[in-house]
Amino acid sequence: MSDILFISDLHLSMRTPGIAGRFFAFLANEARAAGELYILGDLFEAWPGDDAIDDADEPCNGAVVAALRAFSDAGGQLGIMPGNRDFLLGETFARRSGARLLADPSVVERDGSRLVLAHGDALCAADTDYQAFRRQVRDAAWQADFLARPLAERKALADALRLQSESVKRDKPPQLMDVTTAAAEQLLREQRSEPARLTLIHGHTHRPAEHAHEIDGERVERWVTADWSEARGEYLRWDGKTLTRHALP
């Protein structure tokens, strides 16, 4: 029985070579030894479309796809969920990296357990402005219109959106940008299927923690993955029974 590893929120870009270096080492070592890796959103800081893989101005993108490909070519099972930063990860990216693109939410059933996987942004239900924005950019017509623009224009738009979202975030109360208990419990109720034991794993909030919920009398754990920085990274390991949290220096 192989282990499953979970990471999220690396926010890879040219500006953070330390994170990319740690990720490449993690793929070649811990992830390859485990054999199965799920990336739960925001692997990239921004993703203007799959033609970004070959963008000569962003060599980090192609290097990441090559490292993912090396992992999957070596037999590694790779599932990647788009997050709110890289929601335009598409089939070309999946094919070239050897990854399976995961819907948000997704369920992994293993050893009598149901692991519910989400990025986490959809569960920040109190942030109604953000939820309206999320609906807009997840709309197929909006995405088709956006992807029809030249790459340089898409990159400029993505930069503008990022700067806008960072300035809006500074003005919002922190509790508004967290997962609400109601949204988490609604998702868990929808995904409950007896007798399997249920666990929710998500990222996005950059508030790594373990929370306990009670769903119809059953205790359910919600594990929040950590974001990575230049100084540190982290992954969760599922050994078939329990989750554990591991630091990467």
Q: How far apart are CA 94 and CA 114, in angstroms?
A: 24
Q: Is 204 in the site for Mn ion (CB under 5 A)?
A: yes
> Is there binding between residue 8 and Mn ion (CB under 5 A)?
no
SS3 216: coil
Residue with tokens 């109601």: 182
Dist. CA 180–CA 185, nearest whole Å:
9
Rank residues 16 and 84 by Cβ distance to Mn ion and give the closer one. Answer: 84
Q: Among the candidate windows 170-178, 193-201, 202-210, 212-220, which touches Mn ion by CB under 5 A?
A: 202-210
Q: 121: annotated binding-site residue? A: no
Within 8 A by CB and 6+ apart from 44, the residues are: 10, 11, 12, 13, 61, 64, 85, 86, 89
Asked if 154 touches Mn ion (CB under 5 A), the answer is no
Is residue 227 a contact point for Mn ion (CB under 5 A)?
Answer: no
Stretch that binds Mn ion, among 29-37, 83-91, 99-107, 160-168 (CB under 5 A): 83-91
What does each C-alpha distance from 83 to 2, 119, 249 come to in angstroms? 26, 6, 24
User: Is 211 annotated as belonging to a binding site?
Assistant: no
172 is in an annotated binding site: yes
Instruction: Find the shortest distance in angstroms from Cβ 206 to Mn ion.
Output: 8
What is the Cα gyration radius of the chain? 18
Q: Is 73 helix (H, G, I), strand (E, B) or coil?
A: helix
Q: Is 85 annotated as a binding residue?
A: yes
Ligand-binding site membership of 55 (annotated): no
Residue 148 C-beta: closest distance to Mn ion, Å: 25
Cβ atoms of 191 and 107 within 8 Å: the answer is: yes
Among 4, 16, 42, 82, binds Mn ion (CB under 5 A): 42
9 is in an annotated binding site: yes
Please classify residue 64 by burial: count the beta carbons closer than 10 Å to its beta carbon, then call 0-12 exposed, 13-18 middle and 19+ buried: buried
Query: Does 84 contact Mn ion by CB under 5 A?
Result: yes
Which range of residues in 31-39, 49-57, 146-154, 200-208 is near Mn ion by CB under 5 A? Answer: 200-208
Binding residues for Mn ion (CB under 5 A): 42, 83-84, 204
